[in-house]
Amino acid sequence: MTGTQAVTEQVIPKPKTLPDAQTVTAVTHWTESLFSFRVSRPQTLRFRSGEFVMIGLMDDNGRPLLRAYSIASPSWDEELEFYSIKVPNGPLTSRLQHIKPGDQIILRPKPVGTLVIDALLPGEHLWFLATGTGIAPFASLMRDPETYEKFEQVIMMHTCRTVEELEYGRRLVEDLKNDPLIGEMVEGKLLYYPTTTREESPLMGRITDNLTSGKVFTDLGLPPMAPGRDRAMVCGSLAFNVDVKKVLEDFGLTEGANSDPREFVVEKAFVGEGV
Ligand code: FAD
Ligand code: A2P
């Protein structure tokens, strides 16, 4: 070959940037079907502890595949945390469960939701009632100083089928007691009542049963719920939400919303098949 030297044009692929992309910073697998992860927080994102956002990944056709997720970290945290189920063949979670630090996810920065302290009338005792991944919004609220400024006693009731499914919440509560920021506020104020229904553990039974039988009040040395003093937030499956709502109403509490604060608020932890 004479004359000019052949020039090979090299195209350096640009990193694919997703719309509303955030970077995964940590992933923890708790059980075969539960994991949590942390992502960078958009600088402009403001939210109230307990709210949820839409997050997801691109599907094979380059379209965003988004699902609602409660933000599990408190509003002061510089990152965002999420706690997730792994649904077998679930469109999003069958992929999301494989994310690693450095990967990107989509996060639509429009937080909404009813599980916020503003949606409750002032009270003395605040009950968090959750099954399964329904603990996620309370993982946020339990780490927010405002929760302890507004309530004298905070009670976290979490029920799962097995002991290992409680581990994310158990660890969170344990770490909270040693937290330099709110460890002292939490001391004596946060009562944790984890129960299982299908495996032996120190505390057993459904939340609904432990409330109606009065067992939880006896165990914790608290008076039964009363509308003048007690407030509640509920997050679980639709069946759980329906049943616990009835129990709370039997104690005389009424359901509120952002626009109409009352004694308790409810949010679905997920939308079940056919619902
Ligand atoms: P999908 O097609 O969405 O769900 C398939 C089936 O899996 C559902 O029909 C249901 O039967 C079951 N399922 C879905 N999610 C759950 C779950 N969390 N627990 C038990 N069974 C479930 N999910 C979380 O894991 N963490 C959260 O913090 C969370 N917050 C939510 C907040 C709101 C307001 C709503 C409405 C849903 C929330 N979800 C949460 C559920 C989430 O939006 C998705 O449904 C879930 O990530 C599964 O997505 P998928 O595409 O894999 O399967
Ligand atoms: P149980 O084992 O008695 O069904 P699931 O995995 O089915 O969403 O359930 C999570 C937890 O919530 C389980 O401990 C389950 O108890 C409990 N639970 C399910 N449905 C209800 C309900 N309608 N009322 C109270 N607890 C419920």
Q: Split the chain (275 residues) into runs of 10 and give each run's mean pLDDT.
A: 53 60 98 98 95 96 95 96 97 97 96 97 98 98 96 98 98 94 91 98 98 98 98 98 98 96 97 65
pLDDT of residue 4: 47
pLDDT of residue 274: 47
Q: How far is CA 173 from CA 158, 170, 195, 202, in A?
A: 11, 5, 14, 17
Domains of the chain: 3-112 (2.40.30.10), 117-266 (3.40.50.80)
Query: What is the tens place of the pLDDT at every residue in 184-198?
Result: 999 999 999 999 999
**Phi, psi dihedral angles at 257 (to 5 degrees):** -155, 170
Three-class SS of residue 217?
helix
Question: From the CA of 273, how far away is ligand 1's center (Å)?
Answer: 10
pLDDT of residue 180: 86
Residues in contact with 226: Cβ distance below 8 Å, sequence separation at least 6, in sequence order: 251, 252
Question: From the CA of 270, how far away is ligand 1's center (Å)?
Answer: 4
Query: Which of 158, 98, 111, 96 shows the shortest CA–CA distance to 133?
Result: 158
CB under 6 Å to ligand 2: residues? 131-132, 159-161, 197-198, 206-208, 237, 239-240, 243
For 82, the token pair is 């999420």
For 196, the token pair is 């299982």
The pLDDT mean for the chain works out to: 93
Neighbours of 106 (CB within 10 A): 17
pLDDT of residue 164: 98
pLDDT of residue 272: 79
- pTM (2 decimals)? 0.94
Residue owning the nearest CA to atom 12 of ligand 2: 131
Query: What is the tens place of the pLDDT at every residue in 240-269?
Result: 999 999 999 999 999 999 999 999 999 999
Q: How far apart are CA 198 and CA 161, in angstroms?
A: 5
Residue owning the nearest CA to atom 44 of ligand 1: 67
Q: How far apart are CA 20 and CA 17, in angstroms?
A: 9
Q: How far apart are CA 14 and CA 7, in angstroms?
A: 21
pLDDT of residue 158: 98
Q: How far apart are CA 65 and CA 92, in angstroms?
A: 7
- Say if ligand 1 is within 6 A of residue 68 CB: yes
